[in-house]
Chains A and B, each alone.
Chain A
Amino acid sequence: MAVRTLMLWCPDWPVTAAGLIDGVDPYAPVAVLHANRVLACSAAARAEGVRRGLRKREAQARCPHLVVVEHDPDRDARAYEPVVAAVEALASGVEVVRPGVCAVAAKGPASYYGGEEQAAERLVEHVALHCGVVAQAGIADGPFAALLAARRGQIVPPGATAEFLAGMDISTLDRPELVDLLRRLGIRTLGDFAALPAGDVLARFGVDAAYAHRLAAGKDDRPLAVRSPPPDLVVTGEYDPPLDRVDTAAFAARALADRLQERLAAHGLAATRLGIEARTAAGEELYRVWRHDGLLDAAAVADRVRWQLDGWLTGSATRLRAHGGVFSDPDAPTRPDGLVVARPTAGIDRLRLIPDGLVRCSGMQPGLWGELGEADARAHRALHRVQGLLGPESVYTAVLSGGRGYAERVRLVPWGDERKAEGHDRPWPGRIPAPAPATVLAEPIPVVVCTTDGAFLHVDERLALSGTPATVRLARAADGTPGAPMTVTGWAGPWPVDERWWAPDEANQSVRLQLGVAEGPALLVAGRGDTWWLEAVYD
């Protein structure tokens, strides 16, 4: 017996999701494209003649001011999450069929809200109110018929599903090959298909077609695959009287961490990131996300709370702000009041531990060959401690990346973030071979290079130098006056660089010279025309 199913369908969900997340105006003509074909379009676009399955160019021809968005399944799912949560608030046992469509068993809400119609109205209204999303509800026997009912915003009375389906086009089965075959056999509606004997359908078309045959006959007895709502893993500790010392707060955090650990273990999970939120009695909040390569245990959590509060109470937060550092984590959700305080004015009355980056914990095991040995763990702790002292954007690790200039061949990533080296092993014609300069200036310094006759050294389009480089000096030394000229003893180059000419903003066309200098280390200078700048020092 097919289950009475209430289906909630949000029309053109990919468009709505793009509107919710990327801020695309869903009332303008919008089309979401996948593999150059229109996957979904807004009502305005449909009014202009844009249809599903059109090519991009064709769609743009029909509607020249069409806004085109690339399809992103993650975006769709992410945007749908609040809708599911809203539905879950009213009805239990939600199945997410796909982003944009979810189903609940109609029986519970119908008896609670006094009728199927009332329940459907209630759900649609709740979703519209809480998520600002337009949805349509439909009720029928079985999810397949319910989805078709939802598309029409119809409530099919119990037992009338077969008649409801009978008039539908065969293509609603969503099995292109089978539909094509049936069409050629002269079967155009679900009713025609359902009228065939079930045994013959199985013998002629196979198992999947037999299942489709049951769907067409309104005998969809697949139970709902109900999702389990995500567990609430945040642990909170309230303190009265407020904690006014770091060590007592750390002690309290230890107990909280134990509770968090227990709760995570009960779900078989472990956290790779941890948000620690402290609130003072005066309402100030401090939130920071800590990353951890291994998994966080109670002692590690207590340590992090202590470091975080240490920095806060001793006022390095003020200094951080003075340096323009980011105090709270940039990816962290902004506090409702947007408050980032430099220093607390009262004791801490609430601590919350918010686990993040959850992974399935399959029993913690130290690496057999010392993947994360004792020394590594010690080093990680020390570096996290420094991050606690100076802020998360103070400790870096370097990653090799592709490029020709020495500054772009290394990328610094904050400690704890993912290290992903890429492109450094590709051939980069025009790269200067080893040895590399030991000092690389992040911001090149302007220098003046002169030839033997005292004129500025000039390099023309054909890479010819105007003379022999004889002296080099800083255009502006530390005290603002021109630097003292240094005698060039040897030089090599010019080696041309013509990078990213296709992107005018990033294009770099210059030449590089190596200069040996009598009064200092060898230099690597780059230039264009007669302007030169110091890139690196062979220190």
Chain B
Amino acid sequence: MTSSIVARLDRRDGSAPPASLERLWAAGLVRRASERVDQAVERSLPVVPALQPLFPGGCLRRGSTVSLHGSTSVPGTGATSLLFAVLAAASAAGSWCAVVGLPRLGLVAAVEAGVAIERLALVPHPGPDWVDAVGALIDGLDIVAVGVPGRVAPRLATRITARARQRGAVLVVVGTWPGADVTLQITAATWHGLGAGVGRLRRREVEVVASGRGAATRLRRARLWLPGPSGSALPLTNNHVSLDEYRERVHQADARQRRAS
């Protein structure tokens, strides 16, 4: 019954659907077969707009594994900020997150990035039992981030990945992870705002490349402010002038004027 209605709605000839269907349509009870609402919508967690172009479907698919890498050209840059940006939207929307094995997190930066700190659990020193701890967290939390101690054996990685897929949790790994669904790699990072003895660090322009398996095979590239002037990740557009920068320009103009007079 439903399928026939949907089929008739999707008629190519563009003729109007019958009046009764019109009502159902208006009530949102039927929809076109062509506008496929992906199952993934319920099975996914939101990400901040700046990172949406990097993920297939613009969201974190539940059960997937995301691996984060800092910049290669400037070693060790950006992976932690990227982690906060990945957690931010889901955490703010009510998901529980845990971070395992990263004892040096700057949690003020996490708050500025938009992570709800009251729903963030930290296991800074899991010790040799980290696999059990991660397993237990995957059972109950939406996002589990792991700082991997050294190399992980592919067998072990497969086991943890399978558990995350089964439980519908997102596993975010800071470091290399065999068989990650999405791998985010920072390719360039430049800080703005710091001069020779003047100014201060204001924001960082980064370029992130996403690669992966399945739907994420195609390389995606995005440029963003990570962190932006207030600490949260913002998409970067070419003619972007932030309020902050605007204020700075006004301030400089004022100063010039004062000096002139």
Binding site for B on A (CB under 8 A): 316, 319, 323, 375-376, 378-383, 385-386, 389-390, 394-400, 406, 409-410, 412, 415, 419, 432-442, 468, 489-493, 514, 516, 519-522, 536-539
Contact = CB atoms under 8 A, between A and B. Distances in A.
Which of B81, B140, B200: most chain A Cβ within 10 A? B140
Nearest to B96: A379
B126 A491 contact: no
A536 B139 contact: no
28 contacts: A379-B119, A383-B137, A385-B139, A386-B136, A394-B125, A396-B121, A397-B117, A398-B110, A409-B108, A412-B124, A415-B121, A434-B112, A435-B204, A435-B228, A435-B230, A435-B231, A437-B109, A438-B83, A438-B227, A490-B191, A490-B196, A492-B197, A514-B194, A516-B194, A521-B76, A536-B106, A538-B191, A539-B70
Contacts of B80: 438-439, 539
Given A490-B194, A521-B77, A539-B70, 6 more contacts: A379-B119, A379-B121, A434-B112, A435-B112, A519-B75, A522-B194
Given A435-B227, A492-B197, A382 B136 contact: yes
B106 A379 contact: no
B145 to A, nearest CB: 13
- List the 3 shortest-distance A-B pairs measured between CB atoms, nearest first: A382-B140, A490-B194, A438-B80
A390 B140 CA distance: 16
Interface in B157-205: 189, 191, 194-204
B196 A390 contact: no
A389 B121 contact: no
Q: What bracket does the count of chain B residues touching chain A fall in?
A: 35 or more
A390 B127 contact: yes
Contacts of A436: 106, 108-109, 112, 231
B28 interface: no
A437 B106 contact: yes
Contact of A385 (B70, B74, B140): B140
A396 B98 CA distance: 10
A514 B80 CA distance: 19
Contact of B201 (A381, A397, A440, A538): A538
A450 to B, nearest CB: 16
Nearest to B190: A516
Contact of A382 (B78, B139, B202): B139
A395 B75 contact: no
Given A395-B123, A435-B227, A539-B76, A468 B106 contact: no
Contacts of A440: 104-108
Given A382-B136, A468-B196, A491-B196, A434 B230 contact: yes
Nearest to B106: A440
A380 B78 CA distance: 30
B141 interface: yes
B33 interface: no
Contact of A400 (B77, B117, B122, B229): B117
Given A396-B124, A434-B229, A435-B228, A492 B198 contact: yes
Given A383-B140, A436-B112, A539-B80, A397 B121 contact: yes
Contacts of B108: 400, 406, 409-410, 436, 440
A445 B179 CA distance: 35
A398 B195 contact: no
B105 A433 contact: no
Nearest to A434: B231
B200 A492 contact: yes
B154 interface: no
A439 B104 contact: yes
B172 to A, nearest CB: 14
A382 B141 contact: yes
B117 A319 contact: no
B17 interface: no
Contact of A396 (B83, B118, B122): B122
B120 A397 contact: yes
Which of A412, A432, A539: most chain B Cβ within 10 A? A539
Contacts of A378: 139-141
B103 interface: yes
B109 A438 contact: yes
A378 to B, nearest CB: 5
Which of B98, B142, B197, B227: most chain A Cβ within 10 A? B197
Given A436-B106, A442-B104, A522 B197 contact: no
Contacts of B107: 398, 400, 410, 440
B63 to A, nearest CB: 16
B124 A516 contact: no
Contacts of A386: 123, 133, 136-137
A389 B199 contact: no
B171 to A, nearest CB: 14
B123 A522 contact: no
A296 B110 CA distance: 32
A419 B117 CA distance: 11
Which of A379, A442, A489: most chain B Cβ within 10 A? A379
A520 B196 contact: no
B79 interface: yes
A390 B121 contact: no
Nearest to B119: A379
B111 A400 contact: yes
Nearest to B124: A396
B201 A492 contact: yes
Contacts of B76: 520-521, 537, 539
Contact of A491 (B123, B189, B194): B194
Given A437-B106, A521-B78, A390 B133 contact: yes
A388 B95 CA distance: 23
Given A400-B117, A490-B194, A438 B84 contact: yes
Nearest to B102: A439
B200 A433 contact: yes
Contact of A435 (B96, B137, B201): B201
A537 B230 CA distance: 17
B18 interface: no
Nearest to B195: A490
A527 B110 CA distance: 26
Contact of B109 (A433, A435, A490): A435
A378 B94 CA distance: 13
